[in-house]
Structure 1
Amino acid sequence: MADDAINKLEKEILLEKAFKGYAKFGVANSNGNQITLSNIDKWLKEAAIVNGKKVSTTDTAILFQRFKAKTIDFRQFLQFIEGLAKESKLNQDDIMNKLAKCAVPGTSRATQADKSNIVQRLTDTSKYTGSHKERFDAKGKGKGKSGREDRAENSGYVQGYKEKNTYDAKKK
């Protein structure tokens, strides 16, 4: 009996940790205490509970409407899971186990930036030529708009004139 209680406590801790992770996922200003229906659906799909056959997102939406809120907290979520188990005739402990085993969502499996020699050569701004060379400063930092457009000088001389500002010296 003592092992069962510890196991149930561990399961609830894992479930609450996953709850906070899914509550924060995709919601910029979330602190993880409230979860939306769409995040619950993501979690249930990840745990292979929502499969479109026995349990669908329509079923979860109907259950979620009973709370009359856009978000629910962890205690309400446990009530949600209890209701889902009753409605779909699934074992509540099986649902809880599957949800607790799900990894917290994030970008841990995201594509990493390539750091090969080819990419380094292509992105080395000191080797750029022509007009592209003008877009970066000596350190390789982009100049922004000033590096992309030609500005008129309004000095009275045409572009490329080599004897600029020498007229007064010749006249004397």
Structure 2
Amino acid sequence: MAQGGLDLKHQFKNFSKFGDEESDGTSMTISQVDRWLLQANIIDMDHVTTTNTGVCFNKFRIRKLNFKLFQEFLQDLANDVGGDFDDFKERLENCGLPGTAKKQEAAKK
């Protein structure tokens, strides 16, 4: 389990519901994935970009990824950009609940 108390599956469910009142928490769109990766500081627009995530996402040829496919996507992304899957996973687990990172940064200022 992550240091922050949430494992990857629970975070997946939280981020798949964020901003989508009709979501049941079982699948995620590319925009939801990108939002999560941005909050986890994986997408930095230098080493990892939304172009990288789009290319990896489109390999699945579906509109939404379930948790199992998301893990495959994350492994594929790590391989494509020379990243580490376990590092990406840890960042996603420890980035806080959806929408909290920017609020925390603002509170520190």
Instruction: Name the TM tier (shorter chain).
Output: 0.7 to 0.9
1:53 aligned residue: 46
Relative to the length of structure 2, the TM-score reads: 0.84
Gaps of 5+ in 2: 104-109
Using CA pairs under 8 Å that are at least 6 residues apart, name the structure with larger relative contact order, 1 or 2. 2
Deviations 1:65-92 (A, max 9, x none): 0111110100000000100110000111
Answering whether residue 77 of structure 2 is matched by residue 84 of structure 1, we say yes
The runs of at least 4 consecutive aligned structure 1 residues that moved more than 2 Å come to none
Identical pairs, percent: 34
TM-score when scaled to structure 1?
0.54
Give a deviation string over 1:118-160, Cα, whole Å, max 9, x none. Answer: xxxxxxxxxxxxxxxxxxxxxxxxxxxxxxxxxxxxxxxxxxx
Alignment CA distance shift 1:54-1:30 (3 Å): same
Q: CA separation in 2, counterparts of 1:102 and 1:25?
A: 14
Structure 1: where are the runs of 5+ without partners? 1-9, 110-172
Alignment length (residue pairs): 98
Letter of the structure 2 residue corresponding to residue 95 of structure 1 = F
The structure that has the greater radius of gyration is 1
Question: How many angstroms apart in 2 are the aligned matches of 1:76 and 1:89?
Answer: 20
Q: Structure 2 CA distance, aligned partners of 1:55 and 1:74?
A: 21
Root mean square deviation of aligned Cα? 1.5
